[in-house]
Amino acid sequence: MTTTRRRGRSRRLGAVIVIAVAVVCAGSGCTVIPVTGPITLNEAGSGDPLSKPFHRMIAFPPDKTWNEEQTIRGLQAAMAAYADDPTVLPRYLTQEARAKWSASGPVTVVDDAYEVVPPTDREETGPVAKITVKGRWVARIKEDDSYAPTAGPWEDSFELVKAEGGGYLVNRLPNGLLLTNSDVTRAYRATNLYYLNGNSPNTLVVDRVRLRLKPTETYAQTILQRLLKSPTSALQGAVTTSFPADTKVESIRSGEDRVVINLSGPLDTLDLSAEDSLRAQIRYSLNKNEIAKGRVIEIQVNGESYSIDRPDSDDDWLDATSDAAYYISKGAVHYMSKDGPAGSVPGPAGQEREGFHGFALSKDGGYVAAQTSTGISVAALTQSGRWQEVIQGTLTAPTWHRDGSLWTYDQTNAALLRYDPLSGKGPQRISAPKLTGLDVTRLRIARDGVRVAVTTGQNTVQIGALTGGAAGMMLGNFQALTSTEEGNKILDVAWEDDEHLLVLVEGQAGQVLNEINVGDGEIVGVPLKEPLASVAAVNDRVLAETKAKKDKTSQIMELSQDRQTWNPKIESGASTPLFPLG
């Protein structure tokens, strides 16, 4: 798979004639037809689709000459076609199975090369012995459209009976759809939806889903229809929306340089803040998926103009954290320019000091925090600033929230702590019931101020979310992101942007640096030149500290824009590269 953010291709297609191509799947009762979906043409007749091309699966009913394996494979093809044509699949089922089976529930995704094991115990009449289907599990697409990668062997069983006139019917079928990885690649698209930050409504938070493309509507319609629904379980209680309940998408039309979206529902046309946020949700949900990019988006309510979004509109809805880089030398915080060292920061934080480690910078670079043997200390990056211990105990390395608060986990008392430097009060305890009893070793808040990466032990990463708002904030919604094999160790994690986490792992075979999309688990490996001690990132900039060797000290390296090579930035005496937040 490829990440749209950096490696995707923009699709701008003209008018497409739908051509049926008969590709018969031998023995499995299916044919594949390329479909682009409805296309809206402007008055001049030139095409400007708001959709993505895909192939539609057309399934055949069971044939009386088929054996058990052919019947099962035909059934699976009918499942792949079920969303577009639900009439074929029931023809594979007995009356009893039709009465019990439901397509609802998570979609099981398996590798294409699944195996149908023939029965070993046949009967002349009545049910045939169980048919076992085996394969490798790829993922599960949940009912909220979230995509959860899985691994390991998959197995399920089906019961067939002989049909009148020949062939077989399925007498027992597990609920839900079974799709192959190719089915999902063909008919689904990884899609970024944008909701409002529950604690900071003037910023957006991305929610990644897998949406099934439909021949009856454009991809733009599919995106906006899903945007009107609740976010996935990963962000429930952490984000909100500007769309009132009962809002509907009436139509979407496109022209040479304009997309017109007509909504209906209880929208307050006089609420300017709601207009701004609704426009932002639509803009990013379309443009970040390469739909309508570079064109004016006109939003109408009941056919009347409501809001205009222009391509050159101010882009302040996503976090614009500075990419100013810092590093540590002998316990002192230093600036780093594009070319290398640029001097130490003002005040005590820029002075050499022993016993400080685990440094972290606040959003605007105004404060630095560090671990000591007794707790966490904070200093302002000013001439008058001074180091002050603000939290005591056995703690994880500090991490800053975009609101200016400092967070850590008290490993002795199993408590998540939040400290506000401006409050003048001690640390506040934040509810995190799912962390109770776990060996929490790291805590990293994403720059969106919502998602939180937590490592437990030496080899597991989970992603949670801050929910409940200021009045009842808690850390929950945990989902597993990645685990390493026993004997391996996670050396560092760093947020690259609001979607991607860098995870540095070391094992007997060496080190691996992976960029993982926290929304769907998509992994892109980053090649390494030499062993690393730590990483830091913001957007497309990635810095790393190399491991010190006997013949030389550690140095700071920067990953090239093509993500293939590492270039030295500071040759020696430098450690712990830093960016604000993350």
Q: Residue 89 gets which letter from DSSP?
A: G
Question: Is residue 339 in some structural domain?
Answer: yes
Question: Is residue 241 in some structural domain?
Answer: yes
As a whole number of angstroms, the distance between CA 422 and CA 424 comes to 6
Question: Is residue 547 in some structural domain?
Answer: yes
As a whole number of angstroms, the distance between CA 181 and CA 76 comes to 12
> How many structural domains is the chain composed of?
2
pLDDT tens digit at each of 582 positions of the chain = 333 333 332 332 222 223 223 333 444 455 544 444 333 223 322 344 588 877 778 899 999 999 999 999 999 999 999 999 999 999 999 999 999 999 999 999 999 999 999 876 554 445 577 889 999 999 999 999 999 999 899 999 999 999 988 999 999 888 999 999 999 999 999 999 999 998 887 899 999 999 999 988 999 999 999 999 999 999 999 999 999 999 999 999 988 889 999 999 999 887 877 899 999 999 999 999 999 888 999 999 999 999 999 887 766 787 667 789 999 999 999 999 888 889 999 999 999 999 999 999 999 889 999 999 999 999 999 999 999 999 999 999 999 999 999 999 999 999 999 999 988 788 999 999 999 999 999 999 999 999 999 999 999 999 999 998 766 899 999 999 999 888 899 999 999 999 999 999 999 889 999 999 999 999 999 999 899 999 999 988 999 999 887 667 889 999 999 999 999 999 888 999 999 998
Predicted confidence (pLDDT) per residue in 437-457, tens digit: 999 999 999 999 999 999 999
Question: Is residue 383 in some structural domain?
Answer: yes
Q: Are residues 282 and 358 in the same domain?
A: no
As a whole number of angstroms, the distance between CA 461 and CA 459 comes to 7
As a whole number of angstroms, the distance between CA 183 and CA 189 comes to 11
Looking at 263, 285, 309, the residue that finishes a domain is 309
Q: Are residues 270 and 408 in the same domain?
A: no
Which domain, by its residues, includes 521?
A: 325-578
Q: Are residues 511 and 541 in the same domain?
A: yes
CATH number, domain of 224, equals 3.30.300
Which of 436, 401, 400, 402 is closest to 416 using CA atoms? 436
Question: Is residue 43 in some structural domain?
Answer: no
Q: Are residues 446 and 563 in the same domain?
A: yes
Question: Is residue 458 in some structural domain?
Answer: yes
Q: What is the 3-state secondary structure (H, E, C) of 198-216?
A: CCCCCCEEEEEEEEECCCC
Looking at 247, 278, 309, the residue that finishes a domain is 309
Predicted confidence (pLDDT) per residue in 267-302, tens digit: 988 787 789 999 999 999 999 999 988 899 999 999
Question: Is residue 23 in some structural domain?
Answer: no
Q: Are residues 474 and 560 in the same domain?
A: yes
Question: Is residue 340 in some structural domain?
Answer: yes
- E strand or H helix at 186: helix 181-187
Residue 551, both tokens? 């013949």
CATH number, domain of 443, equals 2.120.10.30
Q: Are residues 348 and 271 in the same domain?
A: no
Q: Residue 11 gets which letter from DSSP?
A: -
Looking at 309, 338, 373, the residue that finishes a domain is 309
DSSP string for residues in 262-307: EEESS--TT-HHHHHHHHHHHHHHHHTTTSSTTSEEEEEETTEEEE
Q: Are residues 361 and 504 in the same domain?
A: yes
End-to-end CA gap in the chain: 25
